[in-house]
Structure 1
Amino acid sequence: MHNNTRYKSFVVLNTLIILVSVINTATGQLGRCDQTPTQADVTTPSENNGIYRMSISTKGNDTNIYRPDQTYVLKLTSNNPTRPFRWFMITVEDPDVDNSPQFDHKSVDVGSLKTIDTNRQARYSERCYNSVENTDNSDKYKVEIHWVSPKQNDRKQTVRLRAMVAENSEVWYTGENLTIILEKDNRKPLDSPPYSPTDTCNLCSEARYEVIFNGRWSRMTHPRYYPSRPDDNGYSYMVGASHSYDYILWQPGDKASPGLQKLAEEADISVVEREIINAMSLHNGTRTLIRGKRHYHPDMHAPSHAVFRVDRIHHLFSVLVGMKPSPDWFLGASRFELCTDIGWLEYSEIPLYPWDAGTMDGVSYESPTSMTQPVDTVDRVAVGSFNQESPFYQMNLNELKPFAILQVRRLDVYPLNGVECSNDKGWNVI
Structure 2
Amino acid sequence: MLVGKAIAAILLTLCFGCFGKRPDCDRRPLKNSNALKSPGNNGFQVIVKPYPLNGSLDEVTGYIPGEKYTIVIQGWKTRFTIQTFRGFTLAALSSNDENEPAGLFQLKEDGDIRWSVDCWHAVTHSSMFPKANVSVIWQAPPHDEGCVTFKAAVLEYPNIWYMDDDELTKKLCIRGIASLIYYNTHKAGYDSPKNLDATEECCSCDEAKYEVIFDGLWSRQTHPRDYPSLEHLTHFSDIIGASHSRRYIMWAYGGYASDGMKELAEWGSTQAYEQEIREQVGVLIQFAQICIRGAYLQASEVRTIIKARGLWYPNVQGITRAMFRVDRYHHLVSLASMLGPSPDWVVGLSSFNLCLKNCSWIDEKTFYLYPFDAGVDSGITYMSPNNPSIPREPIKAITTKSPADPRSPFYNADSDTLPPFAKLTFRKDKVYPSECKDSSEYLLASRASTGETETSEDLENKGKKECTVLNWAPWSLCSATCGKGIRMRTRGYKNPVKAHIMGCSRQMNEKQFCNALLSVCHGSENFNDQCAASPWAQWTECSAKCGQGMRSRVRNYLNPMAIKQCSIQLTENENCTGSAGLECNVVEDPHCQATQWSEWSPCSRSCDEGIRLRTRLLYRPENQESCKHLELLQKESCNLLSCDTFMRTHAAEICSELMERGQCEGTFPRYYFDSGTKTCRRFTYTGCKGNRNNFLVRSKTYAYSLVTEVVHEDNDLNALRDTTTTRDNGTPKDCVVSGWSDWSECTQTCGRGMKERVRTILSPARNGGQPCPVELVEKARCRLRPCSVVCRIGSWSSWSACSASCGTGVQIRQRVAKNPHKQPECPAQQTEKRMCIESNC
**Shorter-chain TM-score tier:** 0.5 to 0.7
Which residue of the partner structure matches residue 336 of structure 1? Answer: 352
Give the residue type in structure 2 aligned to 1:224. Answer: R
Deviation digits for residues 373-399 of structure 1, max 9, x if unmatched?
A: 221011112531432211111258851
CA RMSD of aligned residues (A): 2.5
Matching residue within 300, 307, 313 for 1:297 = 313
- 1:369 Cα deviation (Å)? 3.2
Looking at structure 1, the residues matched to 356 and 303 of structure 2 have their Cα atoms a distance apart, in angstroms, of: 19
Which residue of the partner structure matches residue 336 of structure 2? Answer: 320
Which residue of the partner structure matches residue 420 of structure 2? Answer: 402
Equivalent residues of 2:400, 2:417 under 8 A apart: no
Which residue of the partner structure matches residue 264 of structure 2? Answer: 263
Matching residue within 185, 192, 202 for 1:188 = 185
Looking at structure 2, the residues matched to 313 and 418 of structure 1 have their Cα atoms a distance apart, in angstroms, of: 11
Shift of the 322–205 alpha-carbon distance from structure 1 to 2, 3 Å rule, reads: same
Equivalent residues of 2:206, 2:436 under 8 A apart: no
Equivalent residues of 2:399, 2:416 under 8 A apart: no
Give the residue type in structure 1 aligned to 2:220. Answer: R
1:366 aligns with 2:383: yes
Shift of the 418–271 alpha-carbon distance from structure 1 to 2, 3 Å rule, reads: closer
Which aligned pairs between 1:4-43 and structure 2 lie closer than 5 A?
A: none
Looking at structure 2, the residues matched to 303 and 275 of structure 1 have their Cα atoms a distance apart, in angstroms, of: 26
Looking at structure 1, the residues matched to 393 and 385 of structure 2 have their Cα atoms a distance apart, in angstroms, of: 18
Deviation digits for residues 264-319 of structure 1, max 9, x if unmatched?
A: 00011110011112226585511101001112111011111010000011000100
1:353 aligns with 2:370: yes
Shift of the 211–398 alpha-carbon distance from structure 1 to 2, 3 Å rule, reads: farther
Looking at structure 2, the residues matched to 339 and 277 of structure 1 have their Cα atoms a distance apart, in angstroms, of: 23
The structure with the largest alpha-carbon Rg is 2
Give the residue type in structure 2 aligned to 1:394. Answer: N
- 1:233 Cα deviation (Å)? 0.8
Which aligned pairs between 1:4-403 and structure 2 lie closer than 5 A?
A: 187-189=184-186, 191-193=192-194, 196-279=197-280, 285-342=301-358, 343-384=360-401, 385-394=403-412, 399-403=417-421
Which residue of the partner structure matches residue 84 of structure 2? Answer: none
Which residue of the partner structure matches residue 433 of structure 2? Answer: 415
Deviation digits for residues 108-134 of structure 1, max 9, x if unmatched?
A: xxxxxxxxxxxxxxxxxxxxxxxxxxx
Shift of the 203–209 alpha-carbon distance from structure 1 to 2, 3 Å rule, reads: same
Deviation digits for residues 75-113 of structure 1, max 9, x if unmatched?
A: xxxxxxxxxxxxxxxxxxxxxxxxxxxxxxxxxxxxxxx
Looking at structure 2, the residues matched to 408 and 294 of structure 1 have their Cα atoms a distance apart, in angstroms, of: 17
- SS of alignment partner, residue 261 of structure 2: helix
- 1:244 Cα deviation (Å)? 0.1
Looking at structure 2, the residues matched to 235 and 224 of structure 1 have their Cα atoms a distance apart, in angstroms, of: 18
Deviation digits for residues 331-355 of structure 1, max 9, x if unmatched?
A: 1000010011121111101110111
Deviation digits for residues 28-62 of structure 1, max 9, x if unmatched?
A: xxxxxxxxxxxxxxxxxxxxxxxxxxxxxxxx99x
Give the residue type in structure 2 aligned to 1:212. Answer: I
Equivalent residues of 2:400, 2:416 under 8 A apart: no
- 1:205 Cα deviation (Å)? 0.6
Which residue of the partner structure matches residue 158 of structure 1? Answer: none
Looking at structure 2, the residues matched to 256 and 379 of structure 1 have their Cα atoms a distance apart, in angstroms, of: 11
Deviation digits for residues 219-260 of structure 1, max 9, x if unmatched?
A: 000001100011111111111000001100001111100000
Looking at structure 1, the residues matched to 422 and 320 of structure 2 have their Cα atoms a distance apart, in angstroms, of: 11
TM-score where L is the length of structure 2: 0.27
Looking at structure 2, the residues matched to 270 and 386 of structure 1 have their Cα atoms a distance apart, in angstroms, of: 33
Give the residue type in structure 1 aligned to 2:272. Answer: V
> How many percent of aligned residue pairs carry the same amino acid?
37
Equivalent residues of 2:205, 2:436 under 8 A apart: no
Give the residue type in structure 2 aligned to 1:321. Answer: S
- SS of alignment partner, residue 262 of structure 1: helix
- SS of alignment partner, residue 184 of structure 2: coil
Looking at structure 1, the residues matched to 281 and 422 of structure 2 have their Cα atoms a distance apart, in angstroms, of: 28
Give the residue type in structure 2 aligned to 1:255. Answer: Y
- SS of alignment partner, residue 360 of structure 1: coil
- SS of alignment partner, residue 263 of structure 2: helix
Looking at structure 1, the residues matched to 422 and 334 of structure 2 have their Cα atoms a distance apart, in angstroms, of: 15
- 1:371 Cα deviation (Å)? 1.1
Looking at structure 2, the residues matched to 255 and 194 of structure 1 have their Cα atoms a distance apart, in angstroms, of: 19
Shift of the 251–396 alpha-carbon distance from structure 1 to 2, 3 Å rule, reads: farther
Equivalent residues of 1:247, 1:284 under 8 A apart: no
Shift of the 410–392 alpha-carbon distance from structure 1 to 2, 3 Å rule, reads: same
Looking at structure 2, the residues matched to 223 and 189 of structure 1 have their Cα atoms a distance apart, in angstroms, of: 23
Q: Across the two proteins, how many residue pairs are aligned to each other?
A: 239
TM-score where L is the length of structure 1: 0.52
- SS of alignment partner, residue 340 of structure 1: coil
Looking at structure 2, the residues matched to 187 and 397 of structure 1 have their Cα atoms a distance apart, in angstroms, of: 18
Looking at structure 1, the residues matched to 415 and 389 of structure 2 have their Cα atoms a distance apart, in angstroms, of: 24
- SS of alignment partner, residue 339 of structure 1: coil
Looking at structure 1, the residues matched to 420 and 413 of structure 2 have their Cα atoms a distance apart, in angstroms, of: 13
Equivalent residues of 2:242, 2:305 under 8 A apart: yes
Which residue of the partner structure matches residue 153 of structure 1? Answer: none
Shift of the 315–396 alpha-carbon distance from structure 1 to 2, 3 Å rule, reads: farther
Looking at structure 1, the residues matched to 334 and 369 of structure 2 have their Cα atoms a distance apart, in angstroms, of: 13
Looking at structure 2, the residues matched to 395 and 352 of structure 1 have their Cα atoms a distance apart, in angstroms, of: 22
